[in-house]
């Protein structure tokens, strides 16, 4: 139990354990709690904050360093080639080709989606 790391009062820990296993009444019928803290319970907000704090520490110390390996994603080679062809077409005065290549550029991602240096969506710390 995460609470036992900082709290050494066994009576308090037992009280929390019993609150989590207490169950609930629905239409005057007792039902056991299957898992977790019941929503709207007295200890729900504090236990949620304690577990979310642990989760935040895990994400900060383990996941972010593991999956964030660079500052920027590399450029998409297909985008770069299309942009170069568009510039060449503009310099030649071929406006139709430049326009078509410009439309093609708008459909391509400018960065490489398969760049192994960064995750698909960069992980960042959400809570303060």
49-92 confidence digits (pLDDT tens): 888 999 999 999 998 888 777 777 788 899 999 999 999 999 99
Structure tokens at 15: 């009280």
Lookup: tokens for 97: 């080709």
- 3-class DSSP state of 30: strand
24: β partners: 31
Average pLDDT (97-101) is 96
The answer to whether residues 25 and 31 touch, using CB atoms and an 8 Å cutoff, is yes
Q: Which tokens sit at 126? A: 């959400």
Whether the CA torsion 112, 124, 58, 62 is positive or negative: it is: positive
Q: Does 97 have pLDDT greater than 90?
A: yes
User: What pLDDT, in 10s, does the model give residues 3-61?
Assistant: 888 889 999 999 888 888 887 788 999 888 877 777 777 788 888 888 899 999 999 99
d(CA 125, CA 19): 32
């Amino acid at each position: 139990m995460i609470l036992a790391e900082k709290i050494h009062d066994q009576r308090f820990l037992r009280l929390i354990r019993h609150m989590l296993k207490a169950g609930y009444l629905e239409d005057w019928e007792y039902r056991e709690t299957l898992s977790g803290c019941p929503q709207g319970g007295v200890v729900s907000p504090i236990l949620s904050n304690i577990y979310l704090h642990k989760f935040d520490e895990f994400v900060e110390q383990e996941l972010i360093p593991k999956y964030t390996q660079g500052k920027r994603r590399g450029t998409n080679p297909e985008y770069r080639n299309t942009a170069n062809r568009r510039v060449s077409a503009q310099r030649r005065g071929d406006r139709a080709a430049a326009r078509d290549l410009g439309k093609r550029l708008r459909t391509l991602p400018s960065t490489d989606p398969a760049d192994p240096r960064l995750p698909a969506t960069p992980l960042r710390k959400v809570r303060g």
